[in-house]
Each structure stands twice: as structure tokens, then as C-alpha cells.
A = this chain, B = another copy of it.
């Protein structure tokens, strides 16, 4: 297992990504505060370059590659947001990219990954082994594999989001009680938790996941990594990783207070609320932390909670159907 990143790695990542990343603001709505009975500060990563937080980790990682990537470029497997992050970062850095994506990924994610200049190879989510595919292409082409979460450079990059939350609430004199963030493989939540727990030791951090893919919640409860049932289904296409990462879970076990779980319907309702109250387009997986707080999964009456909306890459037809209810 690689060595976990430190808060200094997150600070270095923040400097590295600064010219290319949007420092997303914190959004607030009296309606959302009233529904939750708490003050909610939303970190809106759909506004980030490529429509999700994934660009942070991808750029932090790829910009540190040396000559090993000069010929074969990079390769990644991803349900779609890491794909776009890697493709966009590789384009900025002048490297070729091959991305392995599930054939049932949202069309907008596949189209955008190609738009950023990457070659896309699709696989079947249940029948094919995406990690093996990634490693084979890496060997054949001499491409550097950019893992989606179990890499300290990826985690440090995603952790810049937590660092921004800590800095911006401190600068505004806001006492933050908790941070809730979506968890798939755990890169975002582990990096964010590292930043928050380092900067704001009084602030608790919780993961949020969809039902059926609550591997982080169950792993935190049991103390060891638990798998998801691969027959499970969820509309949260960004959060369907088979189990917590080895490195990310080693961090999360120490850093997280607990894991929250929401239904697909609660995620849909959070998407509608983000539309109505924040004017923010959030994809299903990006909405699970907001869903957890709005549906009362966390007792945060009278507290101040920052909620990460992690991405907004959702097909228009799916979005229109969810708005219609």
C-alpha cells in the first residue's frame, strides 16, 4: 500500500491546480436551511472544470508525471467523471489519453471525454474487469495508469476541496460542525477529511452513499473493507465502485465519524432542491450528501454543515424526468 498523503501534499496540490481550477464558492439557501433545520453551505463542484471535482486529483497527478508519460501518455478506467478529469488534464499537459468507460455510462460523460481529446474504450460493467483492462492497455501502449482513487496524488488533489472549505469558513468566521461528502472509491472523502481534520479539528466528517453501494458505511461500522453486491442497482452512476480503496479506507477509518446512506428517491429529491434553491445542476451521485442532510440522516439541528455536491454530469433527458418527479 502506498503512503497516505499529508496536509502538506494537499497544500502543494492546491498550488499546482490553482491556475486551472475554479475555486468554487460556498452556496447557501434559506429554503434548504429550513428543510434541514441546520445551516447548509454547499460546495458546488458541478461548476468545476469538467463538471466535477475529479479534475483536481487528475491534474495534480498527471502534472507530476515525468518522462514516463511522454510517449504513451495516460490511461484510466472510470464511470465518467474521472474520465473527463483525466482527459482534460492530459489535454492541458499535451499528453495522449485512453479512457476505459462502462458502455452504459451517461452519454454526456462519454461525449465529453472524447471532446477533451481522449480515446474512449467501453467495457461491460459486470462481465469485464476494468482494472485488468487498464493494466493491459498500460502495458501495451506504455501509458501511465491514473487510478481513480487509490493513489496519494489523486487523494491530495481531491483534498484541495476540503482545504477550500476550511479556509473559506475560517475567513468568514463560521464555526463548522460537520462536512458531508459523497463517497465512491473514497478519494474525495479521504482527501477532504484529511484537510478538514487537519485544519478544523472540531469538525466531524461523514461519507454519504446510495443504498446498495454503502460499502464505506459498512466498512466503517465493521472496521474492515466490505464489498458491494454487484447485482445491486442505483441511479448514482458515479458511486458504483465495488468496494472502498485500500489506501482510501485506511485513511477513512481514522478520519471519518461515520457513513450515511440514502435512497435513490432521496437523491432525486436533493437534485430537485438543488435546481429550485441553488440553480445548480447536480447529478444523482453528486447529490447524495445533500440528500443525507435534507432527509435527516444526520442529526444536525441548529448546526452548520458543509455539504459537497460533487458533480453535475447528467443527461438532459434523465434530468428532465427527475425534475418532473
A93–chain B nearest beta-carbon distance, Å? 15
Q: How many copies of this chain sit in the oligomeric assembly?
A: 2
- Contact residues of A: prevailing secondary structure: helix
B316 touches A323 (CB 8 A): yes
B27 touches A25 (CB 8 A): no
A324 touches B317 (CB 8 A): yes
B47 touches A280 (CB 8 A): yes
The residue in A22, A27, A46, A279 that gathers the most chain B C-beta atoms within 10 A of its C-beta is: A279
B22 touches A115 (CB 8 A): no
A319 contacts the other chain (CB 8 A)? yes
B319 touches A275 (CB 8 A): yes
Q: Which residues of the partner chain B approach A204 to less than 8 Å between Cβ atoms?
A: none
Name the CB-closest residue of B to A277: B51
Interface residues on A, range: 20 to 34
A178–chain B nearest beta-carbon distance, Å? 22
Please, how many angstroms separate the alpha-carbon atoms of A249 and B58 in the complex?
A: 49
A185 contacts the other chain (CB 8 A)? no
- 22 residue pairs bridging A and B, Cβ less than 8 Å apart: A22-B27, A23-B25, A24-B25, A28-B49, A30-B116, A44-B47, A47-B279, A47-B280, A108-B276, A272-B316, A275-B319, A276-B316, A279-B280, A279-B312, A279-B313, A280-B280, A281-B281, A316-B324, A317-B324, A319-B323, A320-B321, A320-B323
The residue in A281, A282, A313 that gathers the most chain B C-beta atoms within 10 A of its C-beta is: A281
- A272-294 vs B, CB cutoff 8 Å, 1 = contact: the mask equals 10011011111000000000000
Please, how many angstroms separate the alpha-carbon atoms of A24 and B44 in the complex?
A: 12
Q: Which residues of the partner chain B approach A278 to less than 8 Å between Cβ atoms?
A: 47
Please, how many angstroms separate the alpha-carbon atoms of A46 and B317 in the complex?
A: 22
A31 contacts the other chain (CB 8 A)? yes
B22 touches A47 (CB 8 A): no
Name the CB-closest residue of B to A286: B279
Q: Which residues of the partner chain B approach A116 to less than 8 Å between Cβ atoms?
A: 30
- A172-212 vs B, CB cutoff 8 Å, 1 = contact: the mask equals 00000000000000000000000000000000000000000
